C-alpha cells in the first residue's frame, strides 16, 4: 500500500470511529472526502486527475474516480507533507513563484507517490495554469489531456458549446477506458444535487443568524464538496449540516462563544497548519461566518431535461467565471447579508486568476461598509509564509475594525 493510500485509509478509519462516538457535520464531511481520496486506489474504477471545475457527476456516471489536483495539493499541505514535493517540482524547473497547489502535484507525480491516472481532464476556467500542469503530468504518464473549454460569458450559444464540450469529454473517456455513460445514474445525480442544494441553502441561511451557529472552521475548504456532487453521501452531509445548525440556532448556541466580529473569507483558506484562525477567534472573538466559495450560486437544476445542459448551466454561471461584476455583486451581497464587519482575502502567491481584481474586491465591499485586508500569502507553501508578518497585518486589521 502506498504512503498516500495508507494516509487516506487511516484518515477514513479514524473518522469512522469518531463518527461512531458522535456525528458532527464537519466530521461527516471530511470522512466522505477521505473516502473519495481512497477511491483513487480502487482497481474497479478508472481514475482521473482533473482541475477543480469539472462535472464530477459525469465521471461518476462513467465509473471514473475523479480528484482535482488542487485538492491533492491542499491535502498534502494540511498533512504537513507537501514540502518535499514542492522541492521536487522546483528541482524539475518550476519557479517558486508559480502556484504551489500545482507544484505539489507535479512533485508528487515525479516522486511516483500518486496512483497512475487513466485520464487527465481540465477546465479552462477559473485557472488555466492547472491545464498546463496536467499537460506536464500527461508527459510523465504518457496520457492525453482533455480540456473543457469553458466559455467566458453565458449566452444560448455558449451554453450549447459547453454541452458539446461535455459530450466530447464523454467520448474521450469512453475511448480511453471503454466505459460508457449511465444516463439514468446521471439523472439521479441531478436529483441528488437538488436535494443536497436545498439542505445547504438552508444551512448557510442559518449562518446569517447573529451569532452564527458555525465556527470559522466548520465550513473550511467546503469547496471540496464538489467531489461528492450528485451522490447520496452529499445529501447526507448537507442534511447533517442543516440539522446541526438548526438545532444550535433553536437552542441559542453559538459556533463561536462570544462572537464579536463576523468575517467574510474571500477565495481559498490557508491549507497548512497555522495560527491565524485561532488568533482571530480567541483574541478577537472574530468568526468567519461565510466563505465566498461556499455560496450556493446555482438555481435548482432541471430534473426533466438534458442533464448535460443542467450541468453546463451550473458550470457557466459560477461567479468566479466570466465578467468580474457578477463576482463583485456576490461578494457585496455576502458581506451585507451575513452582517460582516470585515473581509479577509489571502491572495495566494502565484495565483493569477483573481489578482487583477484585488482593488475591485476592496471597492465593492467598501460600498457595503465591509473593509478588506489582502494578505499576501502562499496558501500551500509554508516555506513562503512568515507567520509573524501576517499576524501583524491581521491583528492591525482587527484593531482597525
Partner 1 sequence: MYYAGIDIGSLSTETVIIDDNEKSIAYNIFPTGANSKIAAQKSFNLSLELAGISPDNLQYIVATGYGRISVPFASKMVTEITCHGRGAYHLFPGTRTIIDIGGQDSKVIKLEDSGKVIDFAMNDKCAAGTGRFLEVMARAMEIDLEEMGPMSLKSEEEISISSMCTVFAESEVISLVAQARPKEDIINGIHNAICSRISAMMERIGMEPEVSMTGGVAKNSGIVAKIKQRAGGKINVPDEPQIVGALGAALIARDIANRE
Name the residues that contact partner 1, by CB under 8 A: 371, 376, 384, 386, 388-389, 392-393, 395-396, 399-400
Query: Rounded CA gap, 24 and 195, in Å?
Result: 20
Q: What is the DSSP letter of 304?
A: S
What the block records as the C-alpha cell of 279 is 488568533
- The least distance separating partner 1 from the CB of residue 376, rounded to whole angstroms, comes to 5
Dihedrals φ, ψ of 392, to 5°? -60, -45
In the bound state with partner 1, the residue whose beta carbon lies nearer, of 243 and 376, is: 376
What the block records as the C-alpha cell of 60 is 461518476
H/E stretch holding 114 reads: none
In the bound state with partner 1, the residue whose beta carbon lies nearer, of 252 and 388, is: 388
- The least distance separating partner 1 from the CB of residue 365, rounded to whole angstroms, comes to 12
In the bound state with partner 1, the residue whose beta carbon lies nearer, of 75 and 264, is: 264
In the bound state with partner 1, the residue whose beta carbon lies nearer, of 2 and 389, is: 389
Are 364 and 86 within 8 A, CB to CB?
no
- The least distance separating partner 1 from the CB of residue 89, rounded to whole angstroms, comes to 21
Are 272 and 387 within 8 A, CB to CB?
no
- Contacts of the segment 307-311: beta carbons below 8 A, 24+ positions apart: 307/57, 307/183, 307/186, 307/187, 307/189, 307/190, 308/58, 308/163, 308/166, 308/167, 308/186, 309/159, 309/163, 310/190, 311/55, 311/57, 311/58, 311/166, 311/190
End-to-end CA distance of the chain: 50
- The least distance separating partner 1 from the CB of residue 122, rounded to whole angstroms, comes to 30
Burial group, residue 263, by CB count within 10 angstroms (0-12, 13-18, 19+): buried
- The least distance separating partner 1 from the CB of residue 28, rounded to whole angstroms, comes to 37
Are 69 and 105 within 8 A, CB to CB?
yes
- Based on DSSP, count helices (H) and strands (E) in the chain, helices before strands: 15, 8
In the bound state with partner 1, the residue whose beta carbon lies nearer, of 309 and 362, is: 362
With both helix axes pointing from N to C terminus, report the angle between 100-111 and 69-78 in degrees, rounded to the nearest 10. 90
In the bound state with partner 1, the residue whose beta carbon lies nearer, of 245 and 261, is: 261
What the block records as the C-alpha cell of 106 is 507535479
Cell numbers 472552521 correspond to: 217
In the bound state with partner 1, the residue whose beta carbon lies nearer, of 197 and 374, is: 374
- The least distance separating partner 1 from the CB of residue 396, rounded to whole angstroms, comes to 4
- The least distance separating partner 1 from the CB of residue 90, rounded to whole angstroms, comes to 18
In the bound state with partner 1, the residue whose beta carbon lies nearer, of 155 and 392, is: 392
The DSSP line for 195-252 is: HHHHHHHHHHHHTTSSS-SS-TTTTTTGGGGGGGTTSHHHHHHHHHHHHHHHHHHHHT
In the bound state with partner 1, the residue whose beta carbon lies nearer, of 339 and 393, is: 393
H/E stretch holding 64 reads: strand 64-68
In the bound state with partner 1, the residue whose beta carbon lies nearer, of 61 and 372, is: 372
- The least distance separating partner 1 from the CB of residue 349, rounded to whole angstroms, comes to 9
In the bound state with partner 1, the residue whose beta carbon lies nearer, of 253 and 396, is: 396
Amino acid at each position: 500500500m502506498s504512503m498516500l493510500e495508507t494516509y487516506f485509509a487511516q484518515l477514513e478509519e479514524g473518522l469512522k470511529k469518531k463518527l461512531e462516538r458522535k456525528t458532527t457535520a464537519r466530521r461527516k464531511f471530511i470522512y466522505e472526502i477521505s473516502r473519495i481520496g481512497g477511491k483513487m486506489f480502487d482497481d474497479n474504477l478508472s481514475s482521473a486527475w482533473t482541475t477543480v471545475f469539472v462535472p464530477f457527476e459525469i465521471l461518476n456516471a462513467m465509473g471514473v474516480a475523479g480528484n482535482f489536483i488542487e485538492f491533492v495539493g491542499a491535502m498534502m499541505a494540511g498533512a504537513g507533507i507537501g514540502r518535499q514535493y514542492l522541492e521536487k517540482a522546483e528541482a524539475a524547473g518550476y519557479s517558486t513563484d508559480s502556484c504551489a497547489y500545482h507544484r505539489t502535484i507535479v512533485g508528487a507525480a515525479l516522486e511516483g507517490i500518486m496512483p497512475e491516472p487513466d485520464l487527465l481532464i481540465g477546465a479552462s476556467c477559473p485557472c488555466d495554469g492547472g491545464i498546463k500542469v496536467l499537460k506536464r503530468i500527461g508527459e510523465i504518464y504518457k496520457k492525453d489531456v482533455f480540456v473543457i473549454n469553458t466559455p467566458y460569458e453565458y449566452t444560448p450559444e455558449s451554453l450549447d458549446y459547453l454541452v458539446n464540450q461535455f459530450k466530447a469529454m464523454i467520448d474521450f473517456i469512453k475511448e480511453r477506458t471503454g466505459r460508457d455513460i449511465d444516463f439514468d445514474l446521471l439523472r439521479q445525480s441531478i436529483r441528488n444535487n437538488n436535494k443536497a442544494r436545498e439542505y445547504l441553502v438552508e444551512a448557510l441561511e442559518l449562518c446569517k443568524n447573529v451569532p452564527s451557529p458555525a465556527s470559522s472552521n466548520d465550513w473550511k475548504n467546503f469547496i471540496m464538496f464538489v467531489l461528492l456532487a450528485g451522490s447520496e453521501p452529499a445529501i447526507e452531509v448537507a442534511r447533517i449540516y442543516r440539522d446541526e445548525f438548526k438545532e444550535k440556532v433553536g437552542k441559542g448556541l453559538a459556533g463561536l462563544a462570544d462572537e464579536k466580529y463576523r468575517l467574510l473569507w474571500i477565495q481559498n483558506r490557508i491549507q497548512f497548519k497555522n495560527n491565524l484562525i485561532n488568533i482571530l477567534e480567541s483574541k478577537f472573538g472574530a468568526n468567519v461566518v461565510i466563505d465566498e466559495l461556499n455560496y450556493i450560486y446555482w438555481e435548482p437544476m432541471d430534473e426533466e431535461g438534458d442533464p448535460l445542459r443542467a450541468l453546463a448551466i451550473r458550470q457557466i454561471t459560477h461567479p468566479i467565471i466570466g465578467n468580474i461584476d457578477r463576482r463583485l455583486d456576490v461578494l457585496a451581497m455576502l458581506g451585507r447579508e451575513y452582517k460582516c464587519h470585515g473581509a479577509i482575502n489571502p491572495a495566494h502567491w502565484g495565483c493569477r486568476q483573481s489578482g487583477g481584481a484585488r482593488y475591485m474586491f476592496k471597492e465593492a465591499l467598501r460600498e457595503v461598509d465591509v473593509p478588506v485586508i489582502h494578505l499576501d500569502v502562499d496558501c500551500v507553501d509554508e516555506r513562503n509564509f512568515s507567520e509573524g508578518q501576517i499576524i501583524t497585518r491581521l491583528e492591525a486589521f482587527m484593531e482597525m475594525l
